Amino acid sequence: MKNVHVSLLDWFKQYGRHGLAWRKTDDIYAIFLSEVMLQQTQASRVAEYYYPHFLQKYPTLKHFARASLDEILSDWSGLGYYSRARNLHKALNLCKKTGLPQTMEALQKLPGVGRYTASAVCSFALNQKVAVIDTNIKRVLKRYFAQMNDKEILKEAEIFLNQDTPKEHNLALMDLGSLLCTSKNPRCPKCPLMLTCKGINEPEIYTSKQKIQYEKLDIFLGICLVNKKLALVKSSEKLYKGLFVLPEVEPLEENFIASFKHSYTKYRLSVFLYTTDYAPQNASYFTYEELLQAPISSMIKKAVSFLDF
């Protein structure tokens, strides 16, 4: 196994994605923040704006915990999966006095933290001897060990872990999955594991095919403008909980303004906008400038683009 570890690390030194901002720090808060952002979001989107923006505005755990949830949701706007922001805010408030916990077990007790995030924090921030398994690493290991069973993969990953350089080993596997051992057309001739890979002859059969069941939804939203201020209500629905949304209305043909498509998580939404004179009693009113700072989703931003303030 030693030779395999050496070639993997050599490859990583030469080709690894060392420029990613969250790889240049060992600050546990910054790494925790990046790992939560990276769940279900492409690294480039996180790196380009959200990660630097959050670290600039909330440089420490205490700054983040002190901010209101509205403020966090507003800064998170556009990144999607808002439950991540709500859980992050809850988690950091729970440990604002003690700092983030430093064990897998304790980290997984925080809201929204599963095995992957806990292992990534323990490995990347604390250099603990923990096998990290994200989607990329799982694909590499499934192919490398010609193994489909998730529990077996975890066992194999723990045995395979390089005890001398666990952090670099995990990062190397992650980059290998992202750069060479890709879902389609893996580039095996360039792979540092090619000599011992059991799945090299038929890598595609070890690619997990998760069929996403998309749900189509039609939604009818009301535009109520009072003195050039738009009425919005705070959502208590799971989808956009805590964010300001347009109130739902009965669709009346004569009030139709526009419609557009929007994708959000597993939903494929057809959104129809209607003028209305009535806003719910609990509505809050926003000027155009205030909307720029408000916790609203990309879907509401799209809707606002149809309005003439």
Catalytic positions, please?
Answer: 35
Residues 75 and 67: their CA atoms lie apart, in Å, by 11
Residues 262 and 142: their CA atoms lie apart, in Å, by 35
Residues 176 and 81: their CA atoms lie apart, in Å, by 27
Contacting residue, 106, 194, 225, 257, with ligand SF4 by CB under 6 A: 194
CB of 193 to ligand SF4, least distance (A): 4
CB of 3 to ligand SF4, least distance (A): 15
The SS3 call for residue 109 is: coil
| Closer residue to ligand SF4 (CB): 55 or 132 | 132
Handedness of CA 221, 225, 228, 230 (dihedral sign): negative
Contacting residue, 28, 122, 137, 193, with ligand SF4 by CB under 6 A: 193
CB of 171 to ligand SF4, least distance (A): 16
Applying CB under 6 A, the span of 10-18, 163-171, 188-196, 267-275 interacting with ligand SF4 comes to: 188-196
Contacting residue, 191, 219, 231, 299, with ligand SF4 by CB under 6 A: 191
Assess 4 for contact with ligand SF4 (CB under 6 A).
Answer: no
Residues 298 and 103: their CA atoms lie apart, in Å, by 36
Residue type, 103: T
Residues 173 and 120: their CA atoms lie apart, in Å, by 13
CB of 13 to ligand SF4, least distance (A): 17
Assess 79 for contact with ligand SF4 (CB under 6 A).
Answer: no
Contacting residue, 180, 224, 249, 303, with ligand SF4 by CB under 6 A: 180
* Triad 291, 297, 303: Cα angle to 5°: 70
Residues 66 and 89: their CA atoms lie apart, in Å, by 9
> For binding to ligand SF4 (CB under 6 A), which residues are involved?
140, 143-144, 180-181, 186, 188, 191, 193-194, 197, 199-200, 203
